[in-house]
Amino acid sequence: MAEKLNTEAIPLAFLRDLPKTDLHVHLDGSLRITTLIDLAKEYGVKLPSYTEEGLRELVFKDRYESLGDYLHGFSYLCAVMQSEVALERAGYEFAQDNQAEGVRYLEVRFAPQLHVHEHMNAIMVLKAVNRGLKKAGDEFNSRKEVVSGAEPPFGYGIIVSAMRKFTAGFSEYFANFVSAHRFSPDKRIYREASLQLARAAVIARDEYGLPVVGFDLAGEEAGYPAEDHREAFGFVHKHFMNKTVHAGEAYGPESIFQAVTDLHADRIGHGTYLLDSSAISATSNIDDKEDYVSRLGEFVADRRITLEICLTSNLQTNPDMQSIDQHSFGRLRKNRVSTTICTDNRTVSNTTVTKELALAVKHFGVDRRDLKSIVIYGFKRSFYPGSYLEKRKYVRQVIDYYDKIEAKHFGEAKARK
C-alpha cells in the first residue's frame, strides 16, 4: 500500500508529524523483516525466503485468502523470538519504528506463553521486551526537544494477551501444558492457561514494577467464547488492571456482548460487527436482532468503551470485505461510538498508524475536527501507566503539541477553527 493521500485538506506530511497512539498492535506481528531474516539465520529457523522481497511475496502480503493465511506469518515471527536477546531487540526496534512516524504513546500486546520454554518463564519474557522498549524510550526522551518540554515524551505500556485457543504446536509451554492437562476438557485447559497468565501479569506489575497496563484475550472467536475466560478476567479486574478483548473481528455482536459483560472490557479490539445485526449467529436465541444491536451499541457508546479500529487488517482477513469503503468504521463514527485508529500488526499488515489515518481520511471523509478527536481520544482512552493526574497532564501536553503541529501546517488562524 503506497503512502499516498488524495486530498488537499489533510496532507500526508501533517499526518506524519502529528503525535499519535497505537493502542492495538502485536509485537510478534511487527518484527522488522530484516530482523526476522537475521534471527532466523542465527537460530536456524527455516524461512520460505531470505529476502524482504521474497517474504513480502510469499508470507507478508497485501491481501490474504483467509484469517488462517494471515496468521501463517506469525509462526515464523514467533519462532525467532524465543530468547531474551531476540525479545529485547524486538522491543527496541518496535519502539524505534513507532517513534520514527510520530507515535508518542503505544501499547504493545503479546502472549508471553508463546515465548515460554524450559529456560524462560513469563516474567523473563516480559522483562526482556520491556528492556528493549525502555532503552528506546530513554534514548528518545533524552532529546533536547523533549527535555525542554517543547515536545511530549514517548510513553508505552505492555498488554498481556491470553489466548482463546491453542495447540501443542504453538510453543513448548503449550505442549507441556496440554500434556499436563491431557485428561481435562479442552475449555478447562484454556481457562487454566489464561488464569495462570493473569496471575503472572499482576505479579509482573505489582512485584517487579513492569509497565503491564492491561490484559487481553486474542485468538479465534467462533467456538471459543469469551465467557470461558471469566476467571482470568475476574482476577485482573479485582486487581485493578485494565481489560481489552478481541471481539467482533471475525464473529458477531454476541462476542462483543460477552466481552463487555462477562470480561468487564474497558476497550474492544476491532469491534467491526458491533452494529451489524446480520452478523448475529443463526444459532443464537436472539429474536429481535435489530433491537439487540441497537441496545448493545447504546451500551458501548454510553460507557465510552473505545473500539480499537484496524482498517487494513480487517480488510486483509475478511474475504467478504472487498474494499475499505465497506468497513463499518463510517457507521460507527456516525453513531458517535468512541474509536481510535490502530495498526494491529505493522509487519503482517504492512502498515503504519500514519497509513491507517490516511485511509480514514480518504475513505470515510474524516475532516480535521474528526481527526483531532480520534487522535486525542487515543491518548485519553489509553491505559497510561501513570496516575490519573499524570495522565491528564500528559494529555494536555499532547493537545498543546497537536495544536502546534496544526498551526505549522495550516497557519494559526486556520488551526484555531
- Which residues are tagged catalytic? 249
Cβ neighbours, 10 Å, residue 332: 22
Q: How far apart are CA 379 and CA 102, in angstroms?
A: 13
Which residues, 6 or more positions from 123, have their beta carbon under 8 angstroms from its beta carbon?
Answer: 200, 203, 204, 208
Q: C-alpha grid cell for residue 97?
A: 519504528
Q: How far is CA 149 from CA 139, 142, 143, 317, 397, in A?
A: 15, 11, 10, 41, 9
Helix/strand/coil for 103: strand
Which residues, 6 or more positions from 66, have their beta carbon under 8 angstroms from its beta carbon?
Answer: 317, 319
Q: How far is CA 106 from CA 24, 74, 145, 166, 167, in A?
A: 8, 21, 20, 27, 30
Q: How far apart are CA 310 and CA 313, in angstroms?
A: 6
Q: How far apart are CA 224 and CA 99, in angstroms?
A: 36
Opening angle at CA 295, ends 293 and 297, nearest 5 = 65
Task: Please name which of 95, 53, 107, 55 lies closest in space to residue 76, comparing C-alpha atoms.
Answer: 55
Q: How far apart are CA 26 and CA 358, in angstroms?
A: 21
Q: How far is CA 186 from CA 5, 146, 189, 196, 376, in A?
A: 48, 50, 5, 16, 42
